[in-house]
Chains A and B, each alone.
Chain A
Amino acid sequence: MTELAMTKPVTAVKRKSVFQAIWKYKALTALALPGILFLLINNYLPMFGIFVAFKDLNYTKGIWGSDWVGFANFKFLFTGNDAYIIIRNTLLYNSVFIAINTVLAVLFAVILNEVKNRYLMRFYQSAMLLPYFVSMVIVGYVVFGFLNPELGFVNKALLEPAGKMGISWYGEAEYWPYILTFVNTWKSIGYLTVVYLAAIVGIDPEYYEAARMDGATRWQQMTRITIPLISPVIIIMTLLAIGRIFNADFGLFYQATLAAGALKPTTDVIDTYVYNALLVSGNTGLASAAGLLQSVVGFILVVTVNTLVRKFSNENALF
């Protein structure tokens, strides 16, 4: 009651004059200002900078002074084979990652929940989280430890003793879809498992008690209670991942492959392509066209997905 009485006059003031109100809350505005300013520079200025995609960027003329070229950058991007390859790779990798990660993470969460020994549970969880915790650079080292063509474990300790020729891993593109999928799963499975485990722990134990009274087996409890009750979380996590399907994990594709040029047909994704166009080959036109394409499609996907989330569960929608 007192709360209500206290906030009412405040809203009344707000109606009177917005500026007066803002002045009244100048301290809160000041608190917000550094963060607002940061986002302006780091996020909003680049958003306005997307018009660069329609320019022939020339550093001596400056960003404003460069010539407008309309859709020339996009034409250039789509005339070659590049656009097809990078879009295909990005979409395929992300789809496979989403499918495998979701299935495995739910599986591990369900069986981790069955472990009643606290110490063992903590051990399993820590072990699975450790890869998530290290940087992608370290992941690059780990992959290199296995696949180094001269000294790596796979060639030296597995293939050679079996009488097979060592494989030049960083020169053969065909193996990498499997390698990268494995590495991605290895690195991210612990995180997703914890997310789903938290959802499972949140289920009311009464459901299980009632089920046991009715004689439900463990398996039945799992398939009839656990999975259905965490399915909203699964759906939302999956939809969110779909919303990001046009964004590849740059670190994975850059570090794990050691940026080897020979692997491009199967490992080049939009993010690595933009990076290369911008900072290696210096082709700002291509970089900006591919970047804009990515941002726009990404935006459309996120908004679409959010509409879907809203359908499933209003409270989990982002906006």
Chain B
Amino acid sequence: MTQRANPLIHVLLLLTSLVCLIPFWLVLVVSLTEEKTLLRYGYSFWPKKFDLTAYLYLIQDATPIVRAYGVSIVVTVVGVIISLAITSMLAYSISRSDFPLKGIFTFYVFLTLLFSGGLLPWYLVYTRFLHVQDTLWALIIPGLLSGFNVLIMRTFFANSIPPSLIESSQIDGASELRIYFSMILPLSLPVMATIGLFVTISYWNEWFTSLVFINNQDLYTMQYLLNKTLLNIQFLAQVTSVAGGQITTRPPLESIRMAMAMIAICPMALVFPFLQKYFVKGLTIGAVKG
């Protein structure tokens, strides 16, 4: 059927797409507008006076941003690696129908989706028991494993790895660990990519753990630095006063603020078109069955 879609449909979808994209355009334009113009005319969708000062300011002494970027990258990379390892190991073991603890462990994972202790007990465990506040671990540990991801992976293992494959390797004398590392992992690249992508996004976008556990400015993640600068322009001035050390004029705080947001969006916006396929695939895996 080469029937063309109704033009009304395209109009509606185009409008919706614009509504989704235009807000980002506003942020971009503000970051590229001269400060005085901003202060006089306010934010607008077209730069009345195009200007790169905000970015130059940020580049000139980029320490706070580079540090925050570094923290975000370290947390994301370490978090994703550990997360994929422990998620897949747990998911694999409970996917094996001959594993005697399968039922208990599955229920154990499952119960965490139903009931939670709430914020206060959770907070107390991390601060009074693990003592991780103001360490990188406070940013890494909470996101390591979600029961939901374990169950998605378990479904994948159970459905797409034939039990006979495992049995024949056992007959050939391969140990369980050997089977897991040299057979299961290579076969599970699609689900690892999908879950890996989800976990990467959630680590990169995470700001709540910083808000709750981090006071040390050296450990601010990019999102938390953004959060701080949005809520508190004094904080932004303080960050940029280091940056503007050599320049005598007042730093263009309004445009710097939006420029920082653009810098934080950049990595995701750049990889997004390439990862979208996996992302959509992952959404549908996750949606069809937890």
Interface residues of A (CB under 8 A from B): 2-3, 6-7, 10-11, 14, 18, 21-22, 25, 27-29, 31-32, 34-36, 38-39, 41-50, 52-53, 63, 108, 111-112, 114-117, 120, 122-131, 133-138, 140-142, 144-146, 148, 150-153, 155-157, 160, 186, 190-191, 194-195, 198, 218, 233, 237, 250-251, 255, 258-259, 271, 274-275, 278-279, 284, 287-288, 291-292, 294-295, 298-299, 302-303, 316, 318-319
| A195, B2: Cα distance in complex, Å | 25
Q: Is B218 an interface residue (CB 8 A)?
A: no
Residue of B nearest to A296 (CB): B115
Question: Of residues 172 to 226 in B, which have CB atoms within 8 Å of A's CB atoms?
Answer: 175-177, 180, 201, 204-208, 211-212, 223-224, 226
Question: Of residues 1 to 48 in B, which have CB atoms within 8 Å of A's CB atoms?
Answer: 1-6, 9-10, 12-14, 16-21, 23-24, 26-27, 30, 38-39, 41-45
Query: Looking at chain A's contact residues, is the secondary structure mostly helix, strand, loop, or mixed?
Result: helix
Q: Is B249 an interface residue (CB 8 A)?
A: no
Which residues of B are found within 8 Å of A41, using beta-carbon distances?
A: 125, 129-130
Q: Is B110 an interface residue (CB 8 A)?
A: yes
Residue of B nearest to A115 (CB): B5
- How many whole Å from A57's CB to the nearest CB in chain B? 8
Of B16, B18, B30, B272, which one neighbours A145 at CB under 8 angstroms? B30
A25 contacts B89, C-beta separation under 8 Å: no
* Contact A142 B207, CB 8 Å, known A22-B100, A42-B122, A45-B125: no
Of A18, A157, A316, which one neighbours B100 at CB under 8 angstroms? A18
Question: Of residues 91 to 115 in B, which have CB atoms within 8 Å of A's CB atoms?
Answer: 91-94, 96-101, 105, 108-110, 112-115
Q: Is B231 an interface residue (CB 8 A)?
A: yes
* Contact A151 B119, CB 8 Å, known A135-B207, A137-B227: no
A275 contacts B119, C-beta separation under 8 Å: yes
A124 contacts B17, C-beta separation under 8 Å: yes
| A160, B288: Cα distance in complex, Å | 49
Q: How many residues belonging to B are interface residues under a CB distance threshold of 8 Å?
A: 111
Q: Is B245 an interface residue (CB 8 A)?
A: no
A151 contacts B42, C-beta separation under 8 Å: yes
A137 contacts B42, C-beta separation under 8 Å: no
B287 contacts A130, C-beta separation under 8 Å: no
| A291, B130: Cα distance in complex, Å | 21
Residue of A nearest to B44 (CB): A157
Q: Is B280 an interface residue (CB 8 A)?
A: yes
| A6, B254: Cα distance in complex, Å | 69
A141 contacts B226, C-beta separation under 8 Å: yes
A153 contacts B45, C-beta separation under 8 Å: yes
| A157, B43: Cα distance in complex, Å | 8
B12 contacts A27, C-beta separation under 8 Å: no
Which residues of B are found within 8 Å of A295, using beta-carbon distances?
A: 115-118
A287 contacts B2, C-beta separation under 8 Å: no
* Contact A28 B93, CB 8 Å, known A38-B144, A127-B17, A255-B227: yes
Q: Is B258 an interface residue (CB 8 A)?
A: yes
Of B5, B121, B273, which one neighbours A126 at CB under 8 angstroms? B273
Which residues of B are found within 8 Å of A237, using beta-carbon distances?
A: 287
Which residues of A are found within 8 Å of B20, using beta-carbon distances?
A: 127-128, 130-131, 186, 190
Which residues of B are found within 8 Å of A34, using beta-carbon distances?
A: 85-86, 89-90
B223 contacts A137, C-beta separation under 8 Å: yes
Interface residues of B (CB under 8 A from A): 1-6, 9-10, 12-14, 16-21, 23-24, 26-27, 30, 38-39, 41-45, 85-87, 89-94, 96-101, 105, 108-110, 112-125, 128-130, 141-142, 144-145, 147, 150, 163-164, 167, 175-177, 180, 201, 204-208, 211-212, 223-224, 226-227, 230-231, 254, 257-258, 261, 264-265, 268-269, 272-273, 276, 279-280, 283-284, 287-290
| A125, B17: Cα distance in complex, Å | 8
Sample of 27 A–B contacts (CB below 8 Å) = A3-B163, A6-B167, A7-B167, A31-B89, A31-B177, A43-B117, A44-B112, A45-B129, A49-B121, A49-B124, A52-B120, A120-B13, A124-B13, A129-B279, A134-B205, A135-B207, A140-B230, A142-B26, A142-B27, A148-B43, A152-B42, A153-B44, A186-B23, A251-B207, A278-B119, A295-B117, A299-B114
Lowest 9 CB-CB distances: which A-B pairs, in order? Answer: A156-B42, A46-B117, A49-B121, A291-B118, A35-B90, A27-B176, A135-B205, A127-B17, A198-B284
Of B93, B113, B120, which one neighbours A274 at CB under 8 angstroms? B120
Listed residue (B3, B16, B85, B105) with the most chain A CB atoms within 10 angstroms of its CB: B16
B265 contacts A134, C-beta separation under 8 Å: yes
Which residues of B are found within 8 Å of A195, using beta-carbon distances?
A: 283-284, 287
- How many whole Å from A107's CB to the nearest CB in chain B? 9
- How many whole Å from A256's CB to the nearest CB in chain B? 11
Which residues of A are found within 8 Å of B123, using beta-carbon distances?
A: 278-279
Which residues of B are found within 8 Å of A35, using beta-carbon distances?
A: 86-87, 89-91, 109, 145, 150
* Contact A39 B147, CB 8 Å, known A114-B5, A130-B272: yes
| A186, B21: Cα distance in complex, Å | 10
| A198, B13: Cα distance in complex, Å | 18
Which residues of B are found within 8 Å of A115, using beta-carbon distances?
A: 5, 9-10, 13
| A275, B288: Cα distance in complex, Å | 33
Of A39, A134, A302, which one neighbours B145 at CB under 8 angstroms? A39
A49 contacts B117, C-beta separation under 8 Å: yes
Which residues of B are found within 8 Å of A134, using beta-carbon distances?
A: 205, 265, 268
- How many whole Å from B130's CB to the nearest CB in chain A? 7
A46 contacts B114, C-beta separation under 8 Å: no
B268 contacts A50, C-beta separation under 8 Å: no
* Contact A31 B180, CB 8 Å, known A43-B117, A153-B44, A274-B120: yes
